[in-house]
Amino acid sequence: MSSDSPAGFHDSGAVSLQARRWRICSQDASAMPGVTARQVHIFKVEQRLDRDRPLSDDGRRALLELIDNHRRQVQGEAAVLAERIQRLKRRATPHRLGAIDGAVESAPSITTSDSAVCFLLDALETVGLQRRDRIDQALWSDLEELIPSGKVFDFTSGGPEEDNLIRRCLFWGVVLRLPTLEGDPPQDTADCLAWCGYACHDRGRARSASQWWSDHADRMAGRPGRELDRRLLGLPAEGRITVEAVKAAYKAAAREAHPDLGGSAEQMTAIIQAKERLIQGLGL
């Protein structure tokens, strides 16, 4: 093509090519109920398939299997989340909430508002709440809707505003972690914060860069990092966990991953290995 061809010619040619490829994707999708042209397009790009040709029979089967596996994964994650929320509601009894409220009363003297805020925000997604970068009034409403009995605890008076914020964030941060904790909250503030993994959480934020490198090195060597192992079992990415919590999470994940229940041998092997690595990491 000559160098003096109009620029618009190239633009119109590219548009025409994209439109033709999209029509092919739409035709592919029409032959597979429930599949969209966008899914076909993404599949072809990721698999580096010829976008100027319709999918082969093998390509269609591979795409359908990929979509089915993703649906199973989403359903499994939803089931794990639902069970975690139910355990939270069972664990968040008025007695335990009162004990947590009493334990965090003197927390402002031993921690900062920044740490307390991060402690709460980092736990939101573990119970299906939207991740936030800051505290707002809507957050308190979401928390009280999740655990209505938490409404009786007033953190708007009785001290400096920053101290009230620390108590409120720690209270809800501990409450949201109840599904992974065993027993009742210790009454002593320091013991309660240790019980819920607050100290480990705080140190973990300080060493996040080195932990990232450790997990990165694991991935480069073909070994899953601790964060991935926790995610496979539906456990929080950070914070203290117990052997009992790992085993309970494994049982929930196994119900979705077992080949006889719609999972696969590969999924089952992955969560078994994740459970073993996490328990081994706890020194047991």
Show the tokens assigned to 260: 């006889």
pLDDT at 218: 47
Q: Note the pTM of the prediction, 2 decimals.
A: 0.54
Which residues 6+ apart lie within 8 Å of 153 measured at CB? 97, 101, 171
pLDDT at 66: 87
pLDDT at 199: 65
8 Å CB contact between 104 and 189: yes
pLDDT at 156: 80
Q: How far apart are CA 76 and CA 82, in angstroms?
A: 10
Q: What are phi and psi of 278, to 5 degrees?
A: -65, -45
Q: What is the pLDDT of residues 206-236, one digit of tens each?
A: 444 444 444 444 444 444 456 778 888 888 7
Walk me through the domains of the chain, giving residue ranges and CATH numbers.
85-206 (no CATH), 207-281 (1.10.287)
Mean pLDDT, residues 68-96: 87
